[in-house]
Amino acid sequence: MTHRNYLTTISIAGLLSWAAFVVVLNKLNPYESPLLALPFFFVSLFLALACTFAVLGFYFRVWLYKNEVFYSHINVALRQGVLLGFIACGTLGFKLLGVLTWWTGLLFVMAVTMLELYFSAKG
């Protein structure tokens, strides 16, 4: 598969995830069915953000590093997109639980950043 096929697949998955997120926002009421609405909300938001951040990160890397191999950019962009989606959904989950303060959010972002540094140093 070429990098265009990977990007097309990720882009289509992102568009479907954004469509699912809009459906969840419009059709599911978290007060009537919280056991159904909240997991669908977080999963669809996570997938939509991860795909969006991955595609944007890939094109940012292509723009930043003009003459390099594209395949390495796809792996890094996808990993960082997943981690950014995890940060966004994690902070929303903390807010939902009522435990989000500036320092808990900062600690969470720092923990995920350390995880990214571990993966980037390993590979």
Which of 34 and 93 is assigned the larger pLDDT? 93
What are the pLDDT digits (tens) for 53-108? 999 999 898 888 886 667 778 889 999 999 999 999 999 999 999 999 999 999 99
Percent of the chain with pLDDT over 90: 75
Q: Please state the domain count of the chain.
A: 1
Q: Which SS3 state, helix, strand or coil, does residue 111 take?
A: helix
Which residue, among 23, 25, 90, 86, has the nearest Cα to 53 in the 3D structure? 86
**pTM (predicted TM-score):** 0.92
Query: Would you state the structure tokens that stand for residue 28, as one six-digit string?
Result: 């599911």
Residue 67 has a pLDDT of 67
Q: What's the confidence (pLDDT) of residue 112?
A: 98
Q: Which domain holds residue 58?
A: 3-122
State the average pLDDT over residues 23-40: 92
Burial readout 78-97 (b: 16 or more C-beta within 10 A, e: otherwise): bbbbbbbbbbbbbeeeeeee
